[in-house]
Structure 1
Amino acid sequence: MTAINVKGLYVSYFGNEAINNISFQTNTGTILGIIGPNGAGKSTLLKSLLSLIPTDRGVIEYYGKPVKETRNKIAYVPQRSDIDWDFPITVLDTVVIGTYPKLGLFKRPKQKDREWAYHCLEKVGMSDFGKRQIGELSGGQQQRVFLARALAQETEMLFLDEPFVGIDASSEQTIITILRELRNLGKTIVIVHHDLNKAASYFDEILLINKELVSYGKAQDVLKPNNITKAYSGQLSFLKELGVNLS
């Protein structure tokens, strides 16, 4: 089944083009990576897919319906830099927020909702931190908690914006393992990512962009030297520093 269908998507900021005519389709049970150089519009694309920012034109459908009709099927994990870590909330209460969309208007979470949130914390290895203030945690721990909040929503799709930036290797491995498990259960995962060296092992499909679509398809087909060179034109020294083989 087609989970995401995007046709002719354009996005601009104050008249400056950010996304130019991007189209793609991806099926359920897929981990899709959005890859590209700095300033390529990766996060802009992700936010536009979720209607968090306006689009100029284009079609965005989930299971054949617009996002306003399918919001309850989508969980979103923003960049850590977009979150107020000084907000006075505990780890457990942060995850409980993930149950709110299913509660209904003006309803408060019940004991079963808090138990479900605790289970989600167990899933990400953070059950011992439930009473901590969210800002007391390390970067990797914080990212695990926000993944737990997304799990608490029990959605069909997860969108994550740079989830592996600034976190420890153990947390990164925990997160990608959980995402693979969700993929195997038929969930669709979309991840903005910057590390080309891990892209082939992390993603089933890759959307390689630089404001416009450079290549889309299976990871091994997209990550060809010619595609990478085209996307990262002007940043070849950066690629060599990463150890990317362009031959």
Structure 2
Amino acid sequence: MHHKAISIQNLHVSYYGDEAVRDVSLAVEPGNLVGIIGPNGAGKSTFLKAMLGLIPRDKGDVEILGKPVKEVRKQIAYVPQRNDIDWDFPITVRDAVLLGTYPRLKLFRRPGKKERQWAMECLRRVGMEEFSHRQIGELSGGQQQRVFLARALAQQAEVFFLDEPFVGVDVSSEETIVKILKELCWQGKTVIVVHHDLSKANDYFHQLILLNKELIGFGAVSDVFQTDIIAKAYQGQFAFMKEMGV
């Protein structure tokens, strides 16, 4: 039976007592690379975290691969914002990626040779294999983000969530990450990305979720990326108009 990758019904979320996300309903088919865009304070990260069950929702239903999130955790990979991660934690690049293999291991089994080889393969995909013995805190922002993408790849998940993966990341890391996200979609995986820069939305994504506390637009990039629809979300924040070249 064919399941939607993500199905959301009437999602409401409060943040410190304020309504942050209001009545969002949408469904994403598998194999799509979806950008969540909208102005600062629009609730994009809150929306992502609520989908994943990382913060409570006031009401609404979220299904991933046709099931409640807690039943399909192993199928979900999450790359948080870089400022949500403790970079002083003393762990090597390889061990950070090896953590991604844990959801697949039988209870209480330590990663073995097969997992270590797979972790190195994932590092190779993101171009970070020669850094495997470095501490994660020594890396640049772009390198750190590649390592966390490698960790997500190591999980062999079906649905990937990335929260602002391009903040503080160099251009070549950004290109590497986008290429890998597109490859995941070609393999039938689904990728959801909170993204703040409108200028690349056209090149990066198949679909856009345009959010400003409520859902302003959802669909193919060409449908959502219209001046009047974007303007509705950004209400008078006209700097973005120049970014879009409108």
Classify the TM-score, shorter chain: over 0.9
TM-fit CA distance, 1:111: 1.2
1:18 partner amino acid: A
Task: Tell me how far 1:13 sits from its aligned partner.
Answer: 2.0
Supply the AA of the counterpart residue of 1:243: E
Instruction: State whether structure 2 residue 88 is matched by structure 1 residue 62.
Output: no
Q: Deviations over 1:52-82 (max 9, x none)?
A: 0000000101122110111111000000000
Tell me the SS of whatever aligns to 2:183: helix
**Equivalent in the alignment of 2:78:** 76
Normalised to the residue count of structure 2, the TM-score between the two structures is 0.97
In structure 1, the partner of 2:194 is 192
Q: C-alpha distance in 2, partners of 1:65/1:18?
A: 24
Q: Aligned to 1:209, which of 208, 211, 230?
A: 211
Q: Share of identical aligned residues, percent?
A: 59
**Structure 2 Cα separation of the partners of residues 21 and 239 of structure 1:** 26
Q: Among residues 125, 128, 132, which one is paired with 2:127 in the alignment? A: 125
> How far did residue 5 of structure 1 move?
0.4
Contact 1:40 1:211 in 2 (8 A): yes
Contact 1:225 1:245 in 2 (8 A): no
Is 1:243 paired with 2:210? no
Q: Secondary structure at the match of 1:164?
A: coil
Which one of 45, 48, 58 corresponds to residue 46 of structure 1? 48
TM-score, normalised relative to structure 1:
0.97
1:181 partner letter = E
- Structure 2 contact 198–243 (Cα < 8 Å) conserved: no
Amino acid at match of 1:50: L
Q: What does residue range 1-247 of structure 1 map to in structure 2 within 5 Å?
A: 1=2, 2-236=4-238, 238-240=239-241, 242-246=242-246
The 4+ residue runs of structure 1 with deviation greater than 4 A are none
Supply the distance in 2 between the matched residues of 1:17 and 1:105 (Cα, whole angstroms).
39
How much does 1:105 deviate?
2.1
Aligned alpha-carbon RMSD (Å):
0.9
For structure 2, which runs of at least 5 residues remain unmatched after alignment?
A: none
Gaps spanning 5+ residues in structure 1: where?
none
1:104, distance to aligned residue in structure 2 (A): 2.4
**Corresponding residue pairs, total:** 244
Q: Indicate conservation of the 8 Å contact 2:76/2:158, yes or no.
A: yes
Name the SS for the 2:41 alignment partner: coil
Secondary structure class of the residue paired with 1:125: coil
